Amino acid sequence: MDGREQRGLEIATTKTLRQKGELWLVPSQGGSGTYVVDPTERRGTTCTCPDFEERAKPCKHVFAVEYTVRRQTTAPDGSTVTEQLRLTYRQEWSAYNAAQVNEKERVAAMLRDLCCAIDNPIYKRGRPRIPLADAVFCAVMKVYGGTSGRRAMCDLRGYADKGYIDRAPHYNSIFNALENPDLTPILTALIEQSAVPLAALETDFAIDSSGFTTSDYHRWFSAKYGREMSKAKWLKAHVVIGTKTNAVTAVKITENYGPDSADTLHLPALLDTTVRRGFGVEMLSADKAYMSKRNLAAIDDARAFPLIPFKSNVVPPNSKGDGSLWQRMYFCYMYRREEFLAHYHKRSNVETTFSMIKAKFGTRIRSKSPAAQVNELLAKILCHNLCCLVQSFYELGVEAEFWKAS
């Protein structure tokens, strides 16, 4: 038994855990707060404590719930025997199996429908070039397969035989397409459009960022230590996701340093993109880094309610205030904490989204040039959205219809 399991056992034996529906309210071991543990989450038990949000692994509160959930049975001698129950999670295995078996084919078909709206530029000089729509299709499917450009040629020839593309291009053409900076706004638009079929399902959203490593390093000579220093370069993906399907509705790629890398700067634009794509945003969950007047005003303009925890040094508002959004947020956070946490725990879905992308399509970016690195990361996110659409088709009956006239 490690330290977290030991502390979880102490909480289960010394504290009173309360069950509210399917959620468990677990008191803090050292303070007066309460954390919400959801053992019914489809991809695993979640907790709203900072330890779980940072590690995405079972914390002491999760272990406390596991030790508390017990079953009492009567032995033949009349005594009561208490046995610990193993937490189980409902999974529609028939739908899951069907989605996984047919995923690659349906992803290719949906990507073809998305790429049909791409206008092909007219070239008056030089050798004939592959259509831009085909270049985007091949680049994204190469990222989906996770193979090198050369090994992806077999799949591309198969897509050409099925009519998804005109012909299988040379593998160098795929690399050239990824290095084209004009593909960045196209891939961003495809990501936004790929989430539109799920607009009827999503009302609660979450925002966060995560890093993806590259093969580049920043090197410099340190006069203080008398040796060369190096630091890995990575890109940050700022996303807004729907907490039910984990689909990305808006995305912005930045570097890991500089004035444009701060998380709080991108909330208004990402939220505006989500609303313009037809999503009805009722609640938006975010961590403390997004707490600012500018962000609250943007959320209020979208007619949504922000679920952002307050920092420890916050100044309480006047009880006779004007009922502003900030004041309503504060009183909800301070005096309706259980209700706040019950909704705020959905923010963990954005961590699940990043985990899904990295586990399936890799946390490392293979491309070398800056433009290609951004495009490859956008292609990973687009592949993730298409996989979410496939899962939603088999589990929820969602039909993928793109570029519908508004």
Question: What confidence tens digit (pLDDT) does each residue in 47-65 have?
Answer: 888 888 877 788 889 888 8
**Higher pLDDT among residues 86 and 143, named by residue:** 143
Sheet with 23-27: strands ordered across: 18-20, 23-27, 34-38, 46-47
First CA to last CA across the chain, in angstroms?
57
3-state DSSP percent of the chain in helix, strand and coil, to 5 = 45, 20, 35
**Higher pLDDT among residues 171 and 40, named by residue:** 171
- The pLDDT confidence band at residue 353, using thresholds 50, 70 and 90, is very high
Measured CA to CA, the distance from residue 266 to residue 119 in angstroms comes to 29
Residue 136 has pLDDT above 90, yes or no: yes
Q: Specify the residue for token string 């468990």.
A: 24
Q: Specify the residue for token string 């997004």.
A: 290
Q: Rg (Cα) of the chain, in Å, rounded?
A: 24
Distance of CA 261 to the CA centre of its chain: 18
Question: What confidence tens digit (pLDDT) does each residue in 5-18 have?
Answer: 877 877 887 788 88
The pLDDT score that the predictor gives to residue 348 is 85
- The pLDDT confidence band at residue 76, using thresholds 50, 70 and 90, is low
Segment holding 254, helix H or strand E: strand 248-255
Question: What confidence tens digit (pLDDT) does each residue in 270-324 have?
Answer: 999 999 999 999 999 998 889 888 998 899 899 998 888 887 777 766 655 555 7
- The pLDDT confidence band at residue 257, using thresholds 50, 70 and 90, is confident
pTM for the model stands at 0.76
33-42, 114-123, 143-152, 317-326: least confidently modelled range: 317-326
Dmax (CA) for the chain in angstroms is 93
20-24, 252-256, 259-263, 332-336: least confidently modelled range: 332-336
For 110-115, which contacts have Cβ atoms below 8 Å and span 24 or more sequence positions?
A: 110/194, 110/386, 110/389, 110/390, 110/400, 110/402, 111/137, 111/140, 111/141, 111/382, 111/386, 112/137, 112/164, 112/165, 113/400, 113/402, 114/190, 114/193, 114/194, 114/402, 114/403, 115/190
**Higher pLDDT among residues 83 and 247, named by residue:** 247
- The pLDDT confidence band at residue 161, using thresholds 50, 70 and 90, is very high
- The pLDDT confidence band at residue 72, using thresholds 50, 70 and 90, is very low
**For the residues of 24-56, what is the DSSP string, one character each?**
EEEE-SSSS-EEEEETT-TTS-EE-SHHHHHH-
Q: With beta carbons less than 8 A apart as the criterion, state whether 261 and 242 touch.
A: no
Pairing of strands 46-47, 70-74: unpaired
The pLDDT score that the predictor gives to residue 87 is 47
Helices (H), 76-121: 93-115
Measured CA to CA, the distance from residue 208 to residue 308 in angstroms comes to 12
Average pLDDT of span 154-164: 93
Measured CA to CA, the distance from residue 302 to residue 273 in angstroms comes to 11
* Average model confidence (pLDDT) across the chain: 85
Residue 71 has pLDDT above 50, yes or no: no
Task: Report the share of the chain in percent with pLDDT over 70.
Answer: 90
Question: What confidence tens digit (pLDDT) does each residue in 186-205 have?
Answer: 999 999 999 999 998 899 99
The pLDDT score that the predictor gives to residue 317 is 65
The pLDDT score that the predictor gives to residue 80 is 55
